[in-house]
A = this chain, B = another copy of it.
Amino acid sequence: MPRASQRPRLVDVAEHAAVSLATASRALAGREGVSTEVADRIRQVAHELGYVANPYARTLASGATSTVGLIVHQVDDPYFSEIAAGVIQLASEQGLLVQICQSGRDPDYELQQLRHLIAQRVGIVLISGSGYDDPRMESAARAELAAFQNHGGRAAAIGRHALGVDAVLPDNEAGGHALAQHLMDFGHRRIAVAAGSAGLTTVADRLAGVSSALRERGRPTTDLAVVHTDFTRGGGRAAAEQILNDHPGTTAIIALNDVMAMGVLSTLRSRRVPVPARMSVVGFDDVSVAADLAPSLTTIRLPMTEMGRTALTLALKPRTARPRRRPTGHLLVVRDSTGPAPIT
């Protein structure tokens, strides 16, 4: 096999500049202890030679990595692809490389990916996507991350609070609350929730917001039908079927994310239930296609791309005694999928 690289090495730069390895290294790293003239000359030579440091050698020698590992559930889910876009943008601005992994929404596999990333000696780990109610599911990841950070690594989470690392936290509860209020303002009384898998913290939090809004207005819990299915388009379809069959009085469906809302709309369309005339529908996240669905989707906007950037920003800062938390804020975006409750 041919040598993987015939590229100039630091020695080459040093020789051409007639200095030692150490000096060359210092100059290029921008560390002090080199006279400005010499440093400039070295940089000049390096540039002429097209020298780029070998990151493997550098990492091996210094122990410091410049790559960030990102774990998402599915890159082709728009929620995650927008987050990833933000992470990659900022990473690129900082000269960092991003290694991306998919957990496929499987906590065990996610743990495996996390271990793999750490074993690969990434310097930063970013983990996104809902956490799990069951503390056992999280504790292994938590331990892994703690050990990682104790060895000098940095980590941040997006959308999960139980990992013991810095976190960007979407306004799940407040968003759920706002959605329920919006629907009640339109006079809806029989509201159903197309919820993702029970056991996901994101689902629990958003649902809690919905419930509290109902409670505030003195609505009986029986007004709220909650159907748990997958946190995906298919799950949305299934939930809608079940709602139409089991809760025929329903006039509004809250899907706990936009992807589920797309499934809900799909079912309603094939069942010829007019939206919003006969049934209002809301989603959560405001993925970019939400505005292009028909009817366009009323939803809670989360700044996904920015969330990705924020997470990396947190991880780039030194660790603090107790993990930082950055709430995202949220915005109710009213579009065409919601309207007054039909008169019965």
Chain A interface residues (CB < 8 Å from chain B): 1-7, 52, 54-57, 59-60, 63-65, 67, 74-76, 78, 81-82, 84-85, 88-89, 92, 97-102, 113, 116-117, 119-121, 123, 150-153, 233, 262, 265-266, 269, 288-289, 291-295, 305
Q: A76: which B residues are within 8 A, CB to CB?
A: 78, 81-82, 84-85, 288, 305
* Pairwise interchain contact B88-A100, C-beta atoms closer than 8 A: yes
Least distance between A334 CB and chain B CB atoms (Å): 17
Question: A-B pairs with the 6 shortest C-beta distances?
Answer: A294-B294, A4-B63, A52-B119, A81-B81, A76-B85, A76-B81
* Pairwise interchain contact B101-A100, C-beta atoms closer than 8 A: no
How many copies of this chain does one complex carry? 2
In the complex, residue of chain B having the shortest beta-carbon distance to the beta carbon of A60:
B56
Least distance between A215 CB and chain B CB atoms (Å): 33
Q: A233: which B residues are within 8 A, CB to CB?
A: 288, 292
Select A151's contact among B2, B75, B294, beta carbons within 8 Å.
Answer: B2
Known: A75-B85, A85-B76, A92-B102. A63 touches B5 (CB 8 A): yes
Select A54's contact among B92, B121, B288, B291, beta carbons within 8 Å.
Answer: B121
Least distance between A53 CB and chain B CB atoms (Å): 8
Q: A81: which B residues are within 8 A, CB to CB?
A: 75-76, 78, 81
* Pairwise interchain contact A150-B2, C-beta atoms closer than 8 A: yes
* Pairwise interchain contact B152-A3, C-beta atoms closer than 8 A: yes
* Pairwise interchain contact A63-B289, C-beta atoms closer than 8 A: no
| Beyond A55-B120, A76-B288, A88-B100, 18 additional pairs, beta carbon < 8 A | A1-B152, A4-B151, A4-B153, A7-B119, A54-B121, A55-B56, A56-B59, A56-B60, A56-B121, A76-B81, A76-B85, A92-B113, A98-B99, A98-B101, A233-B292, A265-B292, A289-B289, A292-B293
